[in-house]
A = this chain, B = another copy of it.
Amino acid sequence: MQSKGILMVVSGFAGVGKGTVIKELLSTQSQYTLSVSATTRAPRPGEVDGVNYFFRTREEFEQMIHENGLIEHAEYVGNYYGTPKAYVEEQLNLGKNVILEIEIQGAMNIKKQFPEAVLIFILPPDAKTLKERLVGRGTETMEVIEKRMNRACQEAEGIEEYDYVVVNDEVPQCAMRIHEIIEAEKAKAKKNLSLIESIRNGLKNL
């Protein structure tokens, strides 16, 4: 039975390792694909257009908004971020589960438009671990770290709005938990009405 894929939002604090968890999921399970966001922020060293983001000018981005080419967009610290519609719809129709790695504001926009989307928030095992991970990268100043921690505090206010939380203690286990959640979502009775109907008709016609 080739059913439509599931639209998934994966969020989490900076430093929680969500990129690594998503990579693990993509490399171990073929039925997932990652949606590439569009943004007006400048590429960071090593970031590639069309891979990490679609890098667009403010004018180009606003054009996409006007043409209804984004399923959600949000402005964050002076830059636009958004999810191009075409790729997501195409992949869902192919039966792929499409992962959106977006912030809480975008996540809430998705939930409003697509109530059947599955929102997952990745938690650190504890707050101390999160701070250690942020500091442990060794690439950021204390100022940047403090800024991220403050942002984490703000994001933490919205976690209950997500459908599920998973703890990233070990990457493979965390990826597996996300996979279990999606498998369970696919088993929901309301997502299997045609299977139920065919069993019912089959029983009547025996």
**Which residues in A have some Cβ–Cβ distance to B below 8 Å?**
121, 123-124, 126-128, 130-131, 149, 152-153, 156-157, 159-167, 177, 180-181, 183-185, 187-190, 192-193, 195-196, 198-206
Contacts and interface: CB of A to CB of B under 8 A. Distances in A.
A181 B187 contact: yes
Contact of A165 (B149, B160, B189, B205): B189
A165 B187 contact: yes
Given A153-B204, A156-B199, A165-B195, 14 more contacts: A123-B195, A127-B202, A149-B206, A152-B203, A153-B203, A160-B189, A162-B189, A163-B188, A165-B192, A165-B196, A167-B195, A177-B187, A181-B184, A184-B185
A71 to B, nearest CB: 22
Which of A127, A153, A198, A205 counts the most chain B CB atoms within 10 A?
A127
A152 B165 CA distance: 38
Contacts of A177: 183, 187
A180 B206 CA distance: 33
Contacts of A195: 123, 165, 167
Contacts of A204: 153
26 contacts: A121-B189, A123-B195, A126-B202, A127-B199, A130-B203, A131-B206, A149-B206, A153-B200, A153-B203, A156-B196, A156-B200, A159-B199, A160-B190, A160-B196, A161-B189, A162-B189, A164-B188, A166-B187, A167-B195, A180-B180, A180-B183, A180-B184, A180-B187, A181-B183, A181-B184, A181-B187
